[in-house]
Amino acid sequence: MLFVQMDPDDRRARAAIDPPRLDPATALQLGGHLVRAFGELRSRRSRLVRDAAHMILHTLNEMRRPRPPAWLDEARELLVANMVRPPTLRELGRVVGAHPVHLAQSFRAHWGITTRHYLRAHRVFRALEFIDRGVGLAEAAAAVGFADQSHMTRAIRLERGAPPGALRRQSPT
């Protein structure tokens, strides 16, 4: 076993003892800036940098929060598994054994976004995966639960700052 003596007045030592905190809203905003900054670059290296930045943001965000209760994690997994026809908060609460209001408040407190925003972000992520594989826009929209192609395009523009066609052109092939 290794023990390390740290000087509590050293800024780097304090960061190791009490890791930096990143609230979810700041993480989302920072992530958006990174996506816009690196999304415009076309090289393979930019994709690696973007992936590394995503991993850093994810790690920083995970450091600050405790694991969700099992029922809340189950609710999130149910939203993802049923994203084409998502359950209502009442249905979700009934399945996981939580009151809908408590479920909504706990979800937002833990992940920093509402169930609706989480679902939209996940749909956008999955739709972009389909589009990257060459699936048509209308087909990708239907596969992830958007009402139609224009609904998906609005959601992608809201989440990523550009429509899917522009993102596809920026993506390295």
Q: What is the DSSP string of 51-95?
A: HHHHHHHHHHHHHHSPPPPHHHHHHHHHHHHTSSSPPPHHHHHHH
Number of CB atoms found within 10 A of residue 71's CB: 15
pLDDT computed for residue 91 by the predictor: 98
pLDDT computed for residue 16 by the predictor: 47
Query: What gap in Å lies between CA 23 and CA 111, rounded to an integer?
Result: 9
Number of CB atoms found within 10 A of residue 117's CB: 16
Q: Report which of residues 76 and 18 the model is more confident about.
A: 76
- Domain ranges in the chain? 22-65
The pTM of the full predicted model, rounded to 2 decimals, is 0.63
Query: What gap in Å lies between CA 20 and CA 133, rounded to an integer?
Result: 37
What is the rounded average pLDDT of the residues 103-111?
92
Query: What gap in Å lies between CA 135 and CA 164, rounded to an integer?
Result: 12
Report whether pLDDT(1) > 50: no
Which tens digit of pLDDT belongs to each residue from 118-140?
A: 999 999 999 998 998 889 999 99
Q: Is 162 helix (H, G, I), strand (E, B) or coil?
A: coil
pLDDT computed for residue 40 by the predictor: 56
Q: Report which of residues 40 and 141 the model is more confident about.
A: 141
